């Protein structure tokens, strides 16, 4: 592991970024496109190194890395390259003849300035590059602080980014909570944070000192709700898959399932079948490991405390931080498994029809995602109307996060602000209204000045 950035180095980097932003260089579309292209090549040239780093950090299988990190990021960079000019163009407000036509009112899209991007360990490449491409598109300078827990990815990002991207405008700094606390004492124009809600409160408090706006991309206890009208076999397979991917360490995994009592037995049986298929011949290499001993203890502790019944999975190996996808039935809302976001491969099942599931969902913080498994329009609409969440995928998992140019973010306890495509550009952009009032307008505007004594006001 490379040594952490010293406070002096971080301060110098911060000054450089401010100086560069002031120079106006990053505002040109040419600079933005150049950096986006460089970013694309950076990912392309280093696909193997990225896959290796994620394997070291998480035992992530290359298939998942190519699909979710490399492929998705490269594709999203192309969307930004293709659209940045259009997004950055002035907008004419729907302001009527006086302002829009005579006053030439327009909304300029201006970069917010120097942004700080703080990222988590579970997708330690994609969750740096996604906000970074949005910040570049907007014309911002960026300081990036990768998670110190995913060490191989942190080291790779620190090595790769200065080789490909403009170091006077984009800097990687490294550190844990102590170093980050010092970094947060500097003034930024935007803080883009992805991580847990507890740390988000610390970030927001630090940001408040400088009135810095924050985007908080958090997680939560997002449920899957399965009704009898759903395809039970496919619902079971897709929900289980969300606990398999990255070892269930995904903000978008289904945290738990509410299953209608009439289909619970079938659902549990199908999950068992698909689990055996996923782990055929006791293959464990396809599955990511828990990131750290600390998290292993946390997830194992949640399972140990359950009053529910483990019906599938349950194998653990502390030495390799392996936890098999584990399905637990007879779980109540008071269970240890429901005490926090699981962020691991445990799947508690709570017996509840969809109406009860809505009520129970409302007792927790608004989650990042809700998954509705139903083929009945009335049920779907009722669930949508009676819950709140960052996003929703119906009859599958996570897809809403991949809809091009649609906002991805949380609400309430799962975060504030959103990004992806155009919404990412907007997140790092200030919309500045400009209107030009011609001097000859005085003919119409001259009436407004004091003294008011001679003015007639109808009452």
Among 174, 194, 212, 329, the residue binding ligand NAD under the rule CB under 6 A is: 194
Among 11, 16, 38, 196, the residue binding ligand NAD under the rule CB under 6 A is: 196
Question: Should residue 148 be labelled a site residue for ligand NAD when binding is judged by CB under 6 A?
Answer: yes
Q: Which residue from 180, 114, 186, 190 is spatially nearest to 146, judged by alpha carbons?
A: 180
Applying CB under 6 A, the span of 33-41, 44-52, 117-125, 436-444 interacting with ligand NAD comes to 117-125
Look at residue 53 and give its three-state secondary structure.
Answer: helix
Tell me the closest approach of the beta carbon of residue 37 to ligand NAD, in angstroms. Answer: 25
Question: Should residue 199 be labelled a site residue for ligand NAD when binding is judged by CB under 6 A?
Answer: yes
Within 13 Å, how many C-alpha atoms sit on residue 268's CB side?
A: 22
Contact call for residues 127 and 120 (beta carbons, < 8 A): yes
Q: Which is nearer to ligand NAD, 175 or 228 (CB)?
A: 175
Applying CB under 6 A, the span of 17-25, 173-181, 282-290, 376-384 interacting with ligand NAD comes to 173-181
Among 57, 69, 166, 341, the residue binding ligand NAD under the rule CB under 6 A is: 341
Contact call for residues 116 and 143 (beta carbons, < 8 A): yes
Among 13, 112, 118, 132, the residue binding ligand NAD under the rule CB under 6 A is: 118
Tell me the closest approach of the beta carbon of residue 298 to ligand NAD, in angstroms. Answer: 10
Other Cβ atoms within 10 Å of 83 Cβ, number? 16
Contact call for residues 60 and 45 (beta carbons, < 8 A): no
Q: Name the closest residue to ligand NAD (Cβ).
A: 219
Structure tokens at 159: 């090595």
What are the backbone dihedrals phi and psi of residue 162, each rounded to the nearest 5 degrees, phi first? -65, -25
Q: Which residue from 338, 347, 348, 344 is spatially nearest to 321, judged by alpha carbons?
A: 344
Residue partners of 46: CB distance under 8 A and separation at least 6: 156, 160
Cis check for the bond before 451: say yes or no (omega within 30 of 0).
Answer: yes
Does the active-site annotation cover 365?
Answer: no
Could you write out the DSSP letters of every residue in 413-429? GGEE-EESTHHHHHHTE
Catalytic residue among 179, 217, 341, 379: 217
Look at residue 104 and give its three-state secondary structure.
Answer: coil
Q: Which is nearer to ligand NAD, 61 or 145 (CB)?
A: 145
Tell me the closest approach of the beta carbon of residue 48 to ligand NAD, in angstroms. Answer: 24
What are the backbone dihedrals phi and psi of residue 136, each rounded to the nearest 5 degrees, phi first? -65, -45
Here's the x/- map for ligand NAD, 202-241, by CB under 6 A: it reads as x--------------xxx----------------------
Catalytic residue among 64, 130, 140, 251: 251
Question: Should residue 182 be labelled a site residue for ligand NAD when binding is judged by CB under 6 A?
Answer: no
Does the active-site annotation cover 217?
Answer: yes
Among 5, 26, 46, 147, the residue binding ligand NAD under the rule CB under 6 A is: 147
Other Cβ atoms within 10 Å of 182 Cβ, number? 15
- Residues interacting with ligand NAD, by CB under 6 A? 118-123, 127, 145, 147-148, 176-177, 180-181, 194-196, 199, 202, 217-219, 251, 341, 343, 368, 410, 415
- Residues with catalytic annotation? 217, 251
């Amino acid at each position: 592991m490379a040594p952490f950035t010293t406070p002096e180095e971080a301060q110098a980097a911060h000054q450089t970024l401010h100086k560069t932003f002031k120079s106006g260089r990053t505002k040109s579309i040419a600079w933005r496109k150049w950096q986006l292209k460089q970013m694309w090549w950076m990912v392309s040239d280093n696909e193997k190194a990225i896959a290796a780093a994620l394997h070291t950090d998480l035992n992530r299988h290359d298939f998942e890395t190519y699909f979710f990190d490399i492929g998705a990021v490269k594709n999203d960079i192309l969307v930004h390259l293709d659209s940045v000019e259009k997004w950055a163009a002035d907008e004419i407000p729907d302001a009527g003849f006086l302002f829009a036509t005579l006053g030439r009112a327009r909304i300029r899209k201006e970069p917010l300035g120097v942004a700080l991007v703080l990222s988590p360990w579970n997708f330690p490449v994609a969750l740096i590059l996604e906000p970074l491409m949005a910040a570049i598109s907007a014309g911002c300078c960026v300081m990036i602080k990768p998670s110190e827990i995913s060490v191989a990815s942190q080291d790779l990002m620190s090595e790769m980014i200065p080789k490909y991207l403009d170091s006077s405008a984009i800097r990687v700094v490294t550190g844990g909570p102590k170093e980050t606390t010092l970094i947060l004492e500097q003034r930024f124009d935007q803080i883009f944070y992805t991580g847990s809600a507890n740390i988000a409160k610390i970030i927001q408090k630090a940001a408040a000192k400088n009135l810095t706006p924050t985007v908080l991309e958090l997680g939560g206890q997002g449920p899957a709700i399965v009704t009898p009208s759903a395809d039970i076999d496919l619902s079971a397979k897709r929900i289980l898959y969300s606990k398999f991917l990255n070892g269930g360490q995904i903000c978008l995994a289904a945290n738990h399932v509410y299953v209608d009592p009439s289909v619970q037995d079938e659902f549990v049986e199908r999950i068992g079948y698909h689990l055996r298929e996923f782990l055929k011949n006791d293959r464990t290499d396809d599955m990511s490991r828990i990131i750290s001993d600390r998290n292993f203890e946390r997830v194992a502790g949640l399972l140990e405390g359950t009053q529910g019944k483990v019906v599938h999975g349950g194998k653990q190996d502390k030495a390799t931080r392996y936890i098999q996808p584990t399905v637990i039935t007879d779980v109540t809302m008071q269970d240890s498994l429901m005490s926090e976001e699981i962020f691991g491969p445990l799947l508690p099942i709570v017996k509840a029809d969809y109406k009860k599931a809505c009520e129970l969902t409302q007792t927790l913080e608004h989650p990042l995602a809700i998954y509705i498994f139903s083929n009945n329009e009335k049920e779907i609409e009722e669930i949508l109307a009676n819950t709140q969440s960052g996003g929703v995928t119906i009859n599958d998992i996570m897809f809403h996060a991949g809809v091009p140019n649609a906002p991805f973010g949380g609400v309430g306890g799962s975060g504030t602000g959103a990004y992806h495509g155009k919404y990412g550009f907007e997140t790092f952009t200030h919309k500045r209204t400009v209107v030009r009032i011609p001097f000859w307008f005085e003919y119409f505007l001259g009436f407004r000045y004091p003294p008011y004594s001679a003015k007639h006001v109808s009452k």
